[in-house]
Structure 1
Amino acid sequence: MRKIWIVAVVATSLFSAAPAHASEKGWNDAGSIARDALVVAAFGVPAVQGDWDGVLQAGGSIAVAAGATYGLKEAFPERRPDGSDNKSFPSGHTSMSFAAAATLQNRYGWKVGVPAQLVAAFVGLSRVEARKHHVHDVLVGAAIGEASGFLITRRANDRIQVFPWGDTKGGGVAVTMRF
């Protein structure tokens, strides 16, 4: 029953975030609302279930995505499409949204993750439509968010665990299962 409630909250957030007039400001506001809803869900879903490890992992995923994004913004200044400043690359709204969505998906599975990923994709679209970011800004932001969400978050069900690894000669993913 909780999962159905969670999916309903995420879906409602997506529909309430739809821009009313499809103006740049409408898209900007809608994207910000959707991003905020995802971040609240990433912290709220585990908190409601008493999953404090999930809360910490959500915080870590979102913090790493935000830190990497803002570091890149300083290292690679790029003019926004609307000309407002030189902080276009990469998209912070998108990186944090995808970090939250990837955390929810990795921790609780596809029933929670797919709606969250759709909301994150909407955030990315909204940033381009609001003329705050170029498409490549959004794609890099999505990659940063997905990476931080999947690398920092563990599944709530510890019977199956996925561990990315790497060294100087290669990398891969190790999957373990408990029966």
Structure 2
Amino acid sequence: MNNDFKNYIFILIFSLFLSFQGHAQFIKQESPGIKTAGDVLLFAVPASTLATTLILKDREGSWQFTKGFILNQAVTFGLKVALNKPRPHHNGDNAFPSGHTSTTFQSAAFIHERYGFKYSIPAYALAGFTAFSRINAQKHDGYDILAGAVVGIGSSLIFTSPYEREHMELTFSSNEHAALLGFTYKF
């Protein structure tokens, strides 16, 4: 099992663990402040992810993020409409998968895959909090947020390539008289 996959599994399990802690006695269910914070993060996490690509002048990264974002939204809302699962406490429909969770995890997974694990840790923490906020607001259960996280992460993995690999190239060529090793860095 490669390290990236292990990192994804660890982050997913840790984030979901945090989200399930919403049922702990020290946190009041349906806290309006927590719900509002989750709603704000729905926009703030992807906006800051896209802003990062623009600040770094990473046009390819911007395009990869956009493609992953569009796929994530299409799959998430397609499943919501197709399955029409009722929300907990019957306060609406279209619960599966969690759109808030899929959106924030898609952004976190993009940062992880594009820029590296250490840069994605804050985004995963915010995505985990967003998942927690949806359970706390009684809009989703654990299956809804787990599916949202999987859809979000998967959407990013399809389109995202590591940043460094696009700017560096290592080549090798040989014949019977010589061997040539080349390194190219594109600015």
Q: Same fold (TM over 0.5)?
A: yes
Match for 2:93: what amino acid? N
Match for 2:60: what amino acid? D
Instruction: Spell out, residue by residue over 1:15-71, the C-alpha distance to the aligned partner (whole angstroms, 9 max, x if none).
Output: xxxxxx956232221111122221112201010011111111111111111110100
Match for 1:38: what amino acid? V
Question: Following TM superposition, by how much is the alpha carbon of 1:100 offset from its aligned partner in structure 2, in angstroms?
Answer: 0.6
Task: Give yes or no for the alignment of 1:38 onto 2:48.
Answer: no
User: How far apart in 2 are the matches of 1:151 and 1:115?
Assistant: 22
Distance 1:83 1:27, change over 3 A: farther
Structure 1 gaps, min length 5: 1-20, 161-177
Runs of 4+ in 1 over 4 A off after TM superposition: none
Task: Give yes or no for the alignment of 1:126 onto 2:133.
Answer: yes
Distance 1:52 1:159, change over 3 A: closer
Match of 2:118 among 108, 111, 126: 111
Distance 1:45 1:84, change over 3 A: same
Bigger CA radius of gyration: 2
Identity, in percent, stands at 32
Normalised by the length of structure 1, the TM-score is: 0.74
Question: Following TM superposition, by how much is the alpha carbon of 1:110 offset from its aligned partner in structure 2, in angstroms?
Answer: 1.5
How many residues are treated as equivalent by the alignment? 143
Question: Following TM superposition, by how much is the alpha carbon of 1:86 offset from its aligned partner in structure 2, in angstroms?
Answer: 1.1
Instruction: Spell out, residue by residue over 1:70-94, the C-alpha distance to the aligned partner (whole angstroms, 9 max, x if none).
Output: 0001111111114221111110000
Q: Which residue of 2 aligns with 1:28?
A: 35
RMSD: 2.1
Alignment of 1:29-108 (within 5 A): 29-108=36-115
Match for 1:39: what amino acid? P
User: 1 or 2 for the larger relative contact order (CA 8 Å, sep ≥6)?
Assistant: 2
Q: Which residue of 2 aligns with 1:150?
A: 157
